[in-house]
Amino acid sequence: MSNDTVWNAGWSTAVQRPSTGFDKNWAEEGFADQTVRQVVRVTGSGTTARVRLSNRFGTGELAVSGATLARTDRGAAVREGTTRRLTFGGADSVRIPAGGEVYSDAAEVDVAPFDRLTVSLYFARPTGPATFHAQAFTTSYRAAGDQLAAADPAVFTETSLSWYFLADVELAGGPARRDTVVAFGDSITDGFASTPGTDRRYPDALAGRLAEAGLARPVLNAGIGGNLLLNDSDWFGERAGARFARDVLDKPGVRTVIVLVGLNDIGFSEADEAAFPTYRPNPRLSAAQVVDGYRELVERAHAAGVRVVGGTILPFRGAEYHTPASEAKRQEINAWIRTSGAFDAVADFAAALADPADPDALLPAYDSGDRKHPGDAGYRAMAAAVDLSAL
């Protein structure tokens, strides 16, 4: 493909440093003489694709011995005849320095919105701890040896609910577009408590709404479970401001970002330290400090010509860090989001999901059970609360 190929967004995730995570994963142990097969659902379209692999949090050089791209069948199975060998500068393998990333060459594949693609990576040598995304809510598969072209899914005997080294799928074959939407935030954007393997996070539901309205466009999920607006966390990713350029502003054709973050900033300091040792760092922050963090994101987005939709922080009465102090901060921050005029538009998620009988709590029908994360129905309600004309 020529150097002037126009690449559009297809799928993306926010990468994190290796950690034990929420569910069992392979990030800290990494891979050695193993193939990892990962499934993603794109919201863009095209006739060719390329992937971006990230070694951002690696401590040494990452040797990728081989990679393939295929159309997904079911589980670890791929559709017959669709497997394409991915190359890197014409080579079948690539070495990525610590802290680096690499794009594959283009591979021919016809992709429509909501199609699923399978990316398989083989690591002949030990990788060391793996840059990953902890909460994929989509099954990834691991097999011994080089199984890049394996037709029998039974060779993939282990599973995980995380993505490894894979950061983006970009698509070409159509005109340049400037309508990508990025949903940016914490676990509520990431889709915590949504049904795994069903793509029922709120950004998924939003992409569906747009398509049904004849406004189909890429919608990328840049959520990280536990993410903080103002502080980096070993468990929960770089602070929102530190990753904003990489996860939002640098995406192809980004036009709008929906920001929903801050709940953990006002909540972590209120939780019992012995019961929740991963809630770190947990300084006591004022609502004004959180607002200042929002202002920084808005200013940077506007400087890049990107619209910003502010999402109000959901009710969380009954959650482990709900206290009068954290509730007062939520109310103050939400009032600012709604009335300050800092945002180009507001998605009032809090009002849409609140229990009318107790506005400080989630409506039970939308509550996943932990009093702060929506379930599938709640995520649909969040998507419904976004004014499509604001995007």
Domain ranges, ordered by start, for the chain: 8-171, 177-390
Residue 335 — pLDDT band, cuts 50, 70, 90?
A: very high
Q: Is 21 a residue whose pLDDT tops 80?
A: no
Report how far apart the first and last C-alpha atoms of the chain are (Å, whole number). Answer: 32
* Nearest alpha-carbon partner for 372 in 300, 317, 299: 317
Q: Where is pLDDT greater, at 23 or 26?
A: 26
Please report, for residues 18, 63, 143, 147, the alpha-carbon distance to residue 123 in angstroms, rounded to integers and kept in the order given.
Answer: 17, 7, 11, 10
Specify the length of the chain in residues. Answer: 391
pLDDT digits (tens, 9 = 90+) for 82-104: 999 999 999 999 999 999 999 99
The mean of the pLDDT values for the chain is 97
Mean pLDDT of 218-234: 97
Q: What contacts 24+ positions apart, CB below 8 Å, involve 234-242?
A: 234/17, 234/19, 234/280, 235/19, 235/21, 235/278, 235/280, 236/16, 236/186, 236/264, 236/278, 237/14, 237/16, 237/17, 240/184, 240/185, 240/293, 240/297, 241/293, 241/296, 241/297
- CB atoms near residue 32 (< 10 Å): 12
Give me the pLDDT at residue 320, please. 96
* Contact predicate 8/177, CB 8 Å: yes
Please report, for residues 337, 354, 373, the alpha-carbon distance to residue 315 in angstroms, rounded to integers and kept in the order given.
Answer: 15, 6, 9
DSSP 195: P
* Contact predicate 361/372, CB 8 Å: no
Please report, for residues 29, 101, 264, the alpha-carbon distance to residue 344 in angstroms, rounded to integers and kept in the order given.
Answer: 44, 33, 24
Give me the pLDDT at residue 2, please. 56
* Contact predicate 354/318, CB 8 Å: no
Full-prediction pTM beyond 0.85?
Answer: yes
Please report, for residues 26, 181, 346, 352, the alpha-carbon distance to residue 388 in angstroms, rounded to integers and kept in the order given.
Answer: 38, 11, 11, 15
Backbone φ and ψ of 360, nearest 5°: -85, 0
Alpha-carbon gap, residue 364 to 374, rounded angstroms: 9
Give me the pLDDT at residue 4, please. 77
Task: Please state which of the four CATH numbers 1.10.260.40, 3.40.710.10, 3.30.530.20, 3.40.50.1110 is assigned to the domain occupying 177-390.
Answer: 3.40.50.1110
* Nearest alpha-carbon partner for 362 in 318, 321, 327: 318
Q: Is 368 a residue whose pLDDT tops 70?
A: yes
Give me the pLDDT at residue 175, please. 83
Q: Is 334 a residue whose pLDDT tops 90?
A: yes
Domain 8-171 architecture = Sandwich (2.60)
DSSP 246: I
pLDDT digits (tens, 9 = 90+) for 33-72: 999 999 999 999 999 999 999 999 999 999 999 999 999 9
Give me the pLDDT at residue 280, please. 92
pLDDT digits (tens, 9 = 90+) for 274-319: 889 999 999 999 999 999 999 999 999 999 999 999 999 999 999 9
CA triple 208-211-216, angle to 5 deg: 120
pLDDT digits (tens, 9 = 90+) for 151-181: 999 999 999 999 999 999 999 998 888 999 9
Backbone φ and ψ of 52, nearest 5°: -110, 125
The number of angstroms, rounded, from the C-alpha of 359 to the middle of its chain's C-alpha atoms is: 28
